[in-house]
Structure 1
Amino acid sequence: MKNLPQKIRSKKLSTRIDLTAMVSVSFLLIIFFMVVGELSKPKVMEYATGQDRGCCDCPPRHSGENRSITVMLGENNKLIYYMGILNSPIISPKEVKYGKEGIRKELLARKKTVLEYSAKLGKPSQGITVIIKPTKKSNYGNLVDILDEMKITGITSYAIIPEFTPEETKLLASN
C-alpha cells in the first residue's frame, strides 16, 4: 500500500477568558453611578416667609434684603444700583460710574458692611449677593465690565437677570 499522507491535527488549546477589562469597566460604572446619585440629591435653600417681621411702620429687614444689591445697566453707559428692595431700599438708587472710583468702591464698601453684619448674626460665611440687570439697550461691554468688577472685588455670588419690575423700568426711564 501506498503511504497515505497522515492528517496533521492541530493541537487544541484550552480556552481561557481574561476578565480583567470587564472588572475594570464594572468598577468604573459603579463609581459613576455613585457620583451621579450623590450629585442629583436636591439642595435646600432657606426661604424667608416674612412672618418674622415686627409690627412697626418700617418693616424690619431680612438678612437676604441686607445682603442683596441690584445693579441695573442702562443705555449710554448708565449704571444704577440700590440695596434691598426697591419699594423700601436700604440704600436708595444711585447712579454711579464704572471703574475704580465708581461701582468698585461701592461694592467693596457694601461687601465689608455685609460681612460685618453677617458676623454679628453668627453667619460669617454669608457675603453679598449682586443681582445684575442689563437692559436691552445696554451694550455687551457694560456687562463684561460689571462682571470684571465682580471678579476684582471677589464677589462670587451674583446673578444676571434680564427681567425688570415696573418700578425699575420707571427708575431707569427717569434717570
Structure 2
Amino acid sequence: MKFKKSITDADLSSAGDDFHILWSIKKSLELLNFEKAGIKAITIEGFEKNLSRKIDFSGENFLGIDLTEYFGGNDFKSSESIVISLLKYSTRRSNENFTFSKLYEGKKSSSYDGLIIHRLATIFKTFLDEFGRDEVISKIKLVSNRSVNALYLNQITQIQNFLIRNKRALSFNAVLNDFLKY
C-alpha cells in the first residue's frame, strides 16, 4: 500500500507564500549586476507605483502580478524589457503541467475573475491600451513558473508561425480548425 501524505489547506497556502518569498529573494539577488541591460529594479505584488496609479486606478487590473522585473532601467519608460511574473506553486500537483483547460480554472466556477488566462489578459490589455501594441510587445513578457504541456506549446508555436506567414485578416476560428488535427 502506497502512503500519500495529506496537507491541510493552511499548509498549502503557506507553501505558496513561502515560494513567492523565495522567488522574490532570488530575483533580488540578481540586482547585484553591472550589466547595462541587466535587472535594475523589481516590484513585488504589482507594478511601479506612479504608473500603476495612473493606468490602474482601481487596483483591479494588476491583481495577477506577483513580481515585476525591470531590465536596463528602473521603470517602464527607461527599461529595455520588463518581465511580469504570475507565480503558481502547488504542493499537490507539482508534477502536473498546465493544459489549456487548467488556464481557465478559477477558484469559483461561476466567475472568470480568478482565471489565470483572464488575469494575464487583463494585465496585457491594460498595458496595450496605455502604450500601444508595438511598445508592449517589444517590452513586456508575461510568465508563469509552472510548466505547460509540451504538445500545447508546440501547437502555440505552430499557430504563431502560421500567423507570421499569413499577414492578413483571418478568422481565428478558421486558424484553429486548421490546427485541431494536430
TM-score by structure 2 length?
A: 0.27
Structure with the higher helix share, 1 or 2: 2
Q: Give TM-score, length-normalised by structure 1.
A: 0.27
- Kindly name which structure, 1 or 2, has the bigger radius of gyration based on alpha carbons: 1
More strand by share: 1
